[in-house]
Homo-oligomer: A and B are copies of this chain.
Amino acid sequence: MVSIKDIASEAGVSVCTVSLVMNNKYHHRVSNGVAQHVRDVAQAMGYKPNSVARTLRTGRSHTLGFITDEIVTSPYAGRVLQGAQEAARRLGYVCLVANTNYDSQMESQEINALRRYNVDGFLYALMYHRTVDIPSSLANSPIVVADGEDAAGRKPSIFPDDELAGYDATNRLIKAGCRRIVYFGSETMIIAQRDRYAGYRRALKDGGIPFDESLVINVLESTNAADEAKRMFDEIRPDGIFCFNDVRATFIYEEARRRGIQIGTDVSVISIDNQPFIIEVLKPSLTTLELPHYAMGFEAVRQLVSIIDGEDAVSVLHDECVEQISAQDDTKTAMRCSIIERNSIVT
């Protein structure tokens, strides 16, 4: 590895001059001629700055700790990491990943390990939208939560706008002419359920469709989803069905097929997730909303680096992904899900 010292002696200047030039801080301190010469020599010798030495000296590592419960194993949320990584790359940062496996002992071990490497900040990424307690050891570090919300409401948190997703999905059905719209939701009381349901109700209201409690069916994938799909077709006979997620939509598809009901012709279906493999398998193809995983990772890093380096530092990202923000306050950023049009809605 060629060092600043090698260049200095080769170029016949001091190491400090080289350092100044390489960091573009030579303005009015090193003459242009010398600067150019130093750059040429560095180029010729294939100089690559040593981040480790710089980190030791400056205390800044340009390194981000990406902590996650198990996001990496999730079939779809790995995109959070990808978005984070892309933003980090563009900003001259690099991500150190740590998986906690929902184990708080492992978590603190990993946080300690990351600290030894002098990470400048942390990303705390979750598997799905929920509130979390940020470990107290992280309380004083720059940190941004991705796909979740700080329970204490203090740390910036980026998450999907599930209310809007529910609204957009329901509204899409209304625009297609549906009037009897079932919400095929989740019995588990997670944020996504609460908010998507709220969005469903708001869309009905805006559309002038009276809310009918009997059209709300909350099921569990593993137990009563199939039975309730059956009951729904028997008793409710909806013209539109908004499913909490793609997996639930498969039960609707299954039951419709059994009865010879054509989705996309006799009844409209929309859901949320745009799950690979499921969407490949369903016929007709499923219109669904995609969670903004990539955008959340990207935006989380944008905000994190802006905390670390200031707002100016992230201007190179322009406003990428920013247009996906649907609501924002001091600490919370909600991001819009995008609709993927396919063929499960009557035209």
Binding site for B on A (CB under 8 A): 48-53, 55-56, 61, 63, 66, 70, 72-76, 78-79, 81-82, 85-86, 89, 94-99, 106, 109-110, 112-118, 221, 246-247, 250, 275-278, 280-281
A interface, over-half SS: helix
The 7 residue pairs across chains A and B that have the minimum distance between CB atoms: A75-B75, A51-B116, A72-B78, A78-B78, A250-B281, A52-B55, A52-B56
Give chain B residues whose Cβ lies under 8 Å from the Cβ of A79. 72-73
CA distance A116 to B3 in the complex (A): 12
Give chain B residues whose Cβ lies under 8 Å from the Cβ of A114. 94
Instruction: Let me know if A89 and B76 touch, CB within 8 A.
Output: no
Give chain B residues whose Cβ lies under 8 Å from the Cβ of A50. 56, 116, 118
Instruction: Let me know if B97 and A95 touch, CB within 8 A.
Output: yes
Instruction: Let me know if B89 and A110 touch, CB within 8 A.
Output: yes
Instruction: Let me know if A277 and B275 touch, CB within 8 A.
Output: yes
Instruction: Let me know if A96 and B98 touch, CB within 8 A.
Output: no
Of chain B, the residue at the smallest CB distance from A89 is B110
Of chain B, the residue at the smallest CB distance from A92 is B113
Instruction: Let me know if A113 and B97 touch, CB within 8 A.
Output: no
CA distance A76 to B73 in the complex (A): 7
CA distance A112 to B94 in the complex (A): 11
CA distance A247 to B277 in the complex (A): 7
19 contacts between A and B (CB under 8 A): A52-B55, A52-B56, A52-B116, A53-B56, A63-B117, A72-B78, A72-B82, A75-B277, A85-B98, A89-B98, A94-B96, A94-B114, A95-B97, A96-B96, A97-B97, A221-B280, A246-B277, A247-B281, A281-B281
